[in-house]
Structure 1
C-alpha cells in the first residue's frame, strides 16, 4: 500500500462520516492547514510526506481501541 492510497482512504472516510457529502481538495487542505497543491500531490502520489508514513505505521501497530484513544488525544492538542 502506498501513502497516496492511505490519503485517499482517509479522505473517503471523512466524506462518509459527513453523510457522503463530497469534500473538495481545497477544503480538506484548508482544514489540515496546508496548500491545496500539497494535498493534491499527496493524494496523487507525487509527493510522499515522510512524517505521514511514520505516523500511519505507528497507528498500524495499535489495536483499534488504542487508535481511537490516541487520535482523540491528538485532536485535543
Structure 2
C-alpha cells in the first residue's frame, strides 16, 4: 500500500463521517494547517511524508479501542 492510498482512505472516511458531504482539498489542507498543494501532492503520491507513513503504520498495529484512545489523547494535546 502506498502513502497516497492511506490519505485517500482517510479523506474518504472523513467525508463518510460528514454524511457523504465532499471535503475539498483546500478545506482539508486548511484544517490540517498545511498548504493545499502539499495535501494534493500527498493524495496524488507526488510527495511521501515519512512521518505520516510511520504514524499510520503505528496506528495499524493497535487494536481498534487503542486507536480511539490514542487519537483522543492527541486531539486533547491540540486544545
Question: 2:70 is paired with a residue of what secondary structure?
Answer: helix
Distance 1:25 1:50 in 2: 20
Q: Distance in 2 between matches of 1:26 and 1:20?
A: 17
Q: Give runs of ≥4 in structure 1 deviating > 3 Å.
A: none
TM-score (norm 1): 0.99
Matched, 1:8 2:38: no
**Separation in 1 of the partners of 2:66 and 2:9?**
20
Work out whether 1:32 is the aligned partner of 2:51.
no
TM superposition score normalised by structure 2: 0.96
Aligned-residue Cα RMSD (Å) equals: 0.4
Residue 66 of structure 1 pairs with residue 53 of structure 2? no
Aligned residues: 77
Gaps of 5+ in 2: none
- Residues of 2 paired with 1:53 and 1:15: CA distance? 21
Shift of 1:47: 0.1
What residue in structure 1 maps to residue 52 of structure 2?
A: 52
1:10 to partner: Cα distance: 0.3
Q: Distance in 1 between matches of 2:61 and 2:17?
A: 24
Shift of 1:61: 1.0
